[in-house]
Amino acid sequence: MSDIENLTTPPPPPESGTPPSAEERQWAMFAHLSALAGAILTGHMFGWGCFIGPLVIWLVKKDTMPFVNDQAREALNFNITFAIIGLVLLVLTIGTLFIGALLTIPAALIVGVAWLVFTIIAAVKANEGVAYRYPFALRLVK
């Protein structure tokens, strides 16, 4: 398998004999929703605010709650991916002396709606105890 496939192919959900507890499901849901809260607090979805919440939850709970470890890491990777996409769109906009904004602004709107939809789906699935895998995300944090 190539390095690119390793970065983008979702890993299988963790296999465990016991379903996640209510507390684990809640923390996993918070890991996904903290990105949404970060976007609201910072005023944009492509900034650092979107991955600070999942990062903090992952760092605090990764050793004690396996389901939260998996879902917070998934949320973190997804939001880092979207921050990179936002940075690329910004560079394209500025690099073309804002002429590229004719393409990058609609692209950013489409990407933003996709980010919102996938974040909500992930939060609902995590609350149900299902290990959600985002359809596309760079798996940078292992």
> How large is the angle between the packed helices 22-42 and 49-61, nearest 10 degrees?
150
Indicate the pLDDT class of residue 4, thresholds 50, 70 and 90. low
For 50, residues 6+ apart whose C-beta sits below 8 A from its C-beta are 35, 38, 39, 42, 79, 82, 83
Torsion, Cα 31 91 97 93, to 10 degrees, reads -40
Evaluate whether 141 touches 77 at the Cβ level (below 8 Å).
Answer: yes
Centroid of chain to Cα 18 = 25
pLDDT, position 9? 61
Could you state, in order of their start, the residue ranges of all structural domains in the chain? 30-127
pLDDT tens figures, 50-67: 889 999 999 999 999 999
Q: Please, what is the end-to-end C-alpha distance for the chain in angstroms? A: 17
Quote the mean pLDDT of the chain: 89
pLDDT tens figures, 96-140: 999 999 999 999 999 999 999 999 999 999 999 999 999 989 999
Instruction: From 26, 15, 142, 130, select the one nearest 74 (Cα to Cα).
Output: 142
